[in-house]
Amino acid sequence: MKILSKIYTWLIFAFLYAPIVVLIVFSFNNSKSRSVWAGEITFKWYVELFKDREIMDALLNTLLVAVVSAIVATIIGTFAAIGIHSMNKKLRNTWMMVNNIPMVNPEIVTGVSLGLMFTFFIEILKNLGFDASLNMLTLILAHITFNIPYVVLSVYPKLRQMNPYSYEAALDLGCTPIKSIFKVVLPEIMPGVITGLIMAFTLSLDDFVISYFTSGPSAQTLPLVIYAMTKRRISPKVNALSAIMFAVVLILLIIVNLRQSKDNKSNDRKEKSFI
Amino acid sequence: MRKRVATPYMIWMLIFIIVPLVMVVYFAFTSSSGGFTFDNIIKVKEYTGQFLQSFKIGAISTVICLILGYPMAAIISRSREHVQRTLVMLCMIPMWMNFLLRTYSWMTLLENNGIINNILEYFHLPRLQMINTEGAIILGMVYNFLPFMIMPIYSVMAKIDYRLIEAAQDLGCNSFAVVRRVILPLSVPGVISGITMVFVPSASTFIISKLLGGGDMMIGDIIEAQIQGGANNLNLGAAISLVLMVVVLITMAIMNIFGDTESEVSLI
Amino acid sequence: MKKILSVVLCVAMVMLTLSMTSCSNNANKVTINVFNWGENISDGQDGSMDVIREFEKQTGIKVVYSTYESNEAMYNKIKAGGVSYDVIIPSDYMIGKMIKEDMLYKLDYNNIPNYSLIDDEFKKAENMPFDPTLEYCVPYTWGRVALVYNTKKITEPVDSWDILWNEKYKNQILMFDNARDAFGIAQLKLGYSLNTEDETELKNAAEELKKQRSVKPVYAMDQIMEKMPSENAYIAPYYLGDCLTMCDDNEDLAMVIPKEGTNYFVDAMCIPATSEHKAEAEAFINFMCGTEAATANIEYIAYSSPQKEAAANHKKYLIEEYGKETAELVYPTDLSNTEMFLTLSPEANQLMTDLWISVRSGS
């Protein structure tokens, strides 16, 4: 039984990692072909990658959008969770339902709906003589929107675990409501907030479908550029890019994991499962 | 007072979730010149075939993910603490890499003159037609969404109190009965949210089918073609989106009757 | 926790200031959005000239460059609004459609002195049926549609569009992924005009395309340029210049103009009526017509150039590299067996689009 489950685990991981290994191996291929090995190792695709302005611009855009949208979504989402937590059952359920819409809804519908709204209002603004277009702003707004529900859902369980009286105790001891949120509630739910922030960041980093409908030519993110590239002749530059991305993700995860295993005495499974 | 800190959120959700959905409804029920019409919704009927095809592919992918993912989740949840963490991480890493890149890598593997076929030829085996088949699309979906199945099931299973299993064994259950009577029922919420998280994207996504399927369009591709691609009918695109949304939401509502998915499980 | 938060916030601040400064740097520079076909400009690969960067260097105008896959996709994107492009390079029939719908600006040819370098053939109204008053566009490339095939896999003589329906090559056929080009092939096969607006003829062409589904063609555009040289398919129709590029990448490939005739196309630069930087867009068009840029572009994309000097350079290059025959194929003197796409009536166009979606979605 033990051996069987070991074999099974290896098979699943082989399935999950096979394409990634192929991508990385062929990033060193000294030929334009993506499936025939030329027999020589080269680093030229890495050099070309860093010379490609389109990709480098997109990388910067991607990071900018991810950082800004993750932070804004975390702030709005955290306070939203605190607010929703203190509502009565009926209101709470209503807002949790609204919160679930973008998570259950097909991504393409969310993307199309945001795209339709943005274009609709941009056209109105243009008719009024303002300069408007789909750009970084619309992209960031869209990203914040699909990030918020995930933040709410990662903060909310922490609020339920919290002692409901500590907030009131803080009030009794003379804190203003705002102050007691910052002094008592926030520190308690911090792990959930951090989890939400990281989730929002990664979701936004990898989003393609919603970005596709809400961005203009001046706001191309990496997934969008990769999509455009797969529609043309694909250069092994893409492979080099994925190898680098893989390395970065791996290093980040190892760092986070080491840090976690160090201070993971609170033993919360839920949080681990994210990272 | 505490309620009020949610105000920015409420305003945000109203503007960026509710209003856009209203826009979809508005576009679905207007013609390109702006008048009210049912034509778009009626025209959606022509795409019944694609809807069914997409749901079929979504359903098959979901079932395969469940069959592959459930044992994996069980194995992870039963391993030792630090091994568990590593295994979970290994399941998540592929998801952090751009899905287009991974799908495109499958293209390299499956193509007529791709890596697998070249390996087959090296061993003097006949070449296989793998790309541009329904199987390739399903493979792409399973590959991309398998972690979404493993994770929620794992997170529920990890919480199962081991004493329950011991109690069942003490009361005379053999290991098969333990699985059937204790572990399976307790993991239902995880399974339900796993199904949701695999079925919805695999039935509605675009581009995966385009890259691996070559010929057929799925419903997501049709929406894309209407909104951004060569078909140019915003209103019809909105109408198809609306129908897709309604169908998916109804399906999910029915799913939720079977298992009470509290917010915690539906998260991951 | 606090440490992490402060690090994150610091990063955010740095990113924000970075983006701010990059914005303010560009504040005094005009940015134009150029929207072009994929693989349709010399981009500095393999030592060629990076035309866009050269333009930016010379004029100080910043270019945001993006690509589209088909005329229809480009039209749809502009029609949907939300973004304004300053230079687009559609084909003949699409230019005609956009002129009819008031979607293009009339060009100020005084701002485009290099227009004088364009061959006079392209300044005759009868050669430019889509822009009969010669006010809206400057030709960029022209060419024909050809068949490219792998001589190792297809040993029979290839001379007809029929081969794209041949069961022998099931799973190995690529096909155009846009309505007009795909219908064009079916129409040529059936002996119809490429510009038929007759309902039954259009429906017959669609039937023909549906029949083709039995050989399981893969619908693609620029991916063809990757799939053919890597031998993932045996045969594909594509634009002749690209076919030449593919033959360069794999010497087992050959190309042919089928006997039924083919489509002759002109791609030309235009400025959409939503553009906010018309003068700068005209500067870009002018730059593209300059001999240096035009030569670099035409050698990279391998289509035929309407620019006199670039065409002469290109012809010389073709004769040296490939011989007279290829040069004659790229710059044919006789275009009698070809037909240009004209702008269809909105009704015929809608019918074709609907039929195409039904072909593609397999219903």
Q: How far does the CA of residue C10 sit from the closest CA of chain A (Å)?
A: 11
A35 in reach of chain C (CB within 8 A): yes
Residue C174, classed as helix, strand or coil, is strand
Q: Are residues C72 and C150 in the same domain?
A: no
B184-214 per-position pLDDT tens digit: 888 998 999 899 899 999 999 888 988 898 7
**CATH code: domain of residue A164:** 1.10.3720.10
Residue that is last in its domain, among C256, C286, C303: C303
Q: What is the mean pLDDT of residues A33-52?
A: 86
* pLDDT value at C14 more than 60: no
- What is the pLDDT confidence band of residue A204, given thresholds at 50, 70 and 90? very high
In a domain, residue C308? The reply is no
Ramachandran angles phi, psi of B34, nearest 5°:
110, -5
pLDDT at residue A37 in the model: 82
Rounded CA separation B103/B117 (Å): 17
Q: Which of residues 23-82 of B touch A (CB under 8 A)?
A: 23-24, 27, 68, 71-72, 75, 82
Q: Are residues C150 and C245 in the same domain?
A: yes
- What is the pLDDT confidence band of residue A275, given thresholds at 50, 70 and 90? very low
A150-162 per-position pLDDT tens digit: 999 999 999 988 8
In a domain, residue C33? The reply is yes
A19 in reach of chain B (CB within 8 A): yes
Rounded CA separation B54/B204 (Å): 7
**For a pLDDT cut of 90, what percent of chain C falls above it?**
83
Which chain C residues are closer than 8 Å to A122 by Cβ?
Answer: 81-82
CATH-assigned architecture of domain B47-226+240-267? Orthogonal Bundle (1.10)
C140-152 per-position pLDDT tens digit: 999 999 999 999 9
Rounded CA separation C122/C145 (Å): 19
Which of C232, C249, C354 should one mutate to test binding to chain B, selecting the residue with the greatest count of B CBs within 10 A?
Answer: C232
Q: What is the mean pLDDT of residues C291-298?
A: 96
- Cβ of C274: how many Cβ atoms within 10 Å? 16
**Which among B155, B249, B266 is the nearest to A269, CB-wise?**
B155
Q: Are residues C217 and C92 in the same domain?
A: no
**For a pLDDT cut of 90, what percent of chain B falls above it?**
54
pLDDT at residue B138 in the model: 96
- What is the pLDDT confidence band of residue A271, given thresholds at 50, 70 and 90? very low
Whole-number mean pLDDT of chain C?
91
Is A106's CB within 8 Å of B201's CB? Answer: yes
- What is the pLDDT confidence band of residue A272, given thresholds at 50, 70 and 90? very low
Q: Please choose, from the candidates A205, A34, A39, the residue with its C-alpha nearest in 3D space to the C-alpha of residue B105.
A: A34
Q: Are residues C239 and C163 in the same domain?
A: yes
Interface of C with B (CB under 8 A): 70, 72-73, 75-77, 79-80, 171-172, 178-179, 213, 216-220, 227, 230-233, 353, 356-358, 360-363
Of A190-194, A254-258, C129-133, minimum mean pLDDT range: A254-258
**Which among C38, C65, C80 is the nearest to A232, CB-wise?**
C38
Q: Give the largest CA-CA distance in chain B.
A: 75
The residue in chain B having the minimum alpha-carbon distance to the alpha carbon of residue C226 is: B108
In a domain, residue C343? The reply is yes
Domain spans, chain B: 47-226+240-267
Q: Are residues C91 and C168 in the same domain?
A: no
For residue B119, what are the contacts with CB-CB under 8 A and spacing of at least 6? none
Instruction: Write down the residue that tokens 């994991």 correspond to.
Output: A257
Which chain A residues are closer than 8 Å to C4 by Cβ?
Answer: 194
B174 in reach of chain A (CB within 8 A): no
**CATH code: domain of residue C74:** 3.40.190.10
Whole-number mean pLDDT of chain B?
89
pLDDT at residue A265 in the model: 47
Of A167-171, A229-233, B264-268, C235-239, minimum mean pLDDT range: B264-268
Q: Are residues C168 and C292 in the same domain?
A: no
- Cβ of C329: how many Cβ atoms within 10 Å? 19
Q: Are residues C241 and C351 in the same domain?
A: yes
Q: How far does the CA of residue B171 sit from the closest CA of chain A (Å)?
A: 23
Q: How far does the CA of residue C2 sit from the closest CA of chain A (Å)?
A: 9
A88 in reach of chain B (CB within 8 A): no
Is A233's CB within 8 Å of C222's CB? Answer: yes
For residues B86, B90, B96 and B102, what is the CA-based torsion angle, rounded to 10 degrees?
170
Q: Are residues C192 and C249 in the same domain?
A: yes
The residue in chain A having the minimum alpha-carbon distance to the alpha carbon of residue B261 is: A100
Is A232's CB within 8 Å of C1's CB? Answer: no
**Which among C18, C64, C230 is the nearest to A35, CB-wise?**
C230
pLDDT at residue B162 in the model: 83
Task: Give the count of Cβ contacts less than 8 A between chain A and B.
Answer: 245
* pLDDT value at B79 more than 70: yes
Q: What is the mean pLDDT of residues C292-312?
A: 95
In a domain, residue A3? The reply is no
* pLDDT value at C10 more than 90: no
Highest-confidence segment of A175-179, B85-89, C12-16, C49-53: C49-53
Is B231's CB within 8 Å of C357's CB? Answer: yes
- What is the pLDDT confidence band of residue A10, given thresholds at 50, 70 and 90? very high
Model pTM? Answer: 0.91
Q: What is the mean pLDDT of residues C43-70?
A: 91
A95 in reach of chain B (CB within 8 A): yes
Q: How far does the CA of residue B126 sit from the closest CA of chain A (Å)?
A: 18
Q: Are residues C244 and C109 in the same domain?
A: no
Which chain C residues are closer than 8 Å to B43 by Cβ?
Answer: none
pLDDT at residue C7 in the model: 58
Q: Are residues C223 and C75 in the same domain?
A: no
Q: Locate A79 and state its tokens.
A: 């306070």
**For a pLDDT cut of 70, what percent of chain C falls above it?**
92
B121-167 per-position pLDDT tens digit: 999 999 999 999 999 999 999 999 999 999 999 999 988 888 888 89
pLDDT at residue C23 in the model: 46
In a domain, residue A31? The reply is no
Q: Are residues C67 and C119 in the same domain?
A: yes
Which chain A residues are closer than 8 Å to B75 by Cβ?
Answer: 5, 8-9
Rounded CA separation A230/A238 (Å): 9
Range of the domain at A97: 48-235
pLDDT at residue B259 in the model: 60
**Which among B214, B228, B231 is the nearest to C353, CB-wise?**
B231
* pLDDT value at B61 more than 60: yes
Q: What is the mean pLDDT of residues B234-260?
A: 87
In a domain, residue A157? The reply is yes
DSSP H stretches of helix in chain C: 2-27, 51-59, 71-80, 92-100, 179-190, 199-212, 224-227, 240-249, 278-289, 291-301, 308-322, 324-330, 346-360
* pLDDT value at B16 more than 50: yes
In a domain, residue A255? The reply is no
Which chain C residues are closer than 8 Å to A36 by Cβ?
Answer: 230
Is C15's CB within 8 Å of A234's CB? Answer: no
Task: Give the count of Cβ contacts less than 8 A between chain B and C.
Answer: 75
In a domain, residue C48? The reply is yes
User: How many domains, in total, are found in chain C?
Assistant: 2
Please name every residue paired with C173 in a beta bridge, in sequence order, or none if there are none: C235
Range of the domain at C206: 143-264+339-360
Cβ atoms A58, A219 nearer than 8 A: no
pLDDT at residue B268 in the model: 34
User: How many domains, in total, are found in chain A?
Assistant: 1
Please name every residue paired with C235 in a beta bridge, in sequence order, or none if there are none: C149, C173
* pLDDT value at C18 more than 60: no
**Which among C1, C39, C64 is the nearest to A233, CB-wise?**
C39
Which chain C residues are closer than 8 Å to B229 by Cβ?
Answer: 72-73, 76
The residue in chain B having the minimum alpha-carbon distance to the alpha carbon of residue A267 is: B81
Q: Are residues C66 and C202 in the same domain?
A: no
Cα–Cα distances in angstroms (integers) from residue A173 to residues A168, A177, A184, C298, in the given order = 9, 11, 12, 79
pLDDT at residue C185 in the model: 97
Is C219's CB within 8 Å of B214's CB? Answer: yes
Higher pLDDT, A27 or A273: A27
B268 in reach of chain C (CB within 8 A): no
Q: What is the mean pLDDT of residues C170-199?
A: 95
Rounded CA separation B45/B243 (Å): 10
Q: What is the mean pLDDT of residues A179-206?
A: 90
Higher pLDDT, C267 or A104: C267
Chains that touch A (3 or more CB pairs under 8 A): B, C
For residue B207, what are the contacts with CB-CB under 8 A and spacing of at least 6? A208, A227, B100, B103, B220, B221, B224
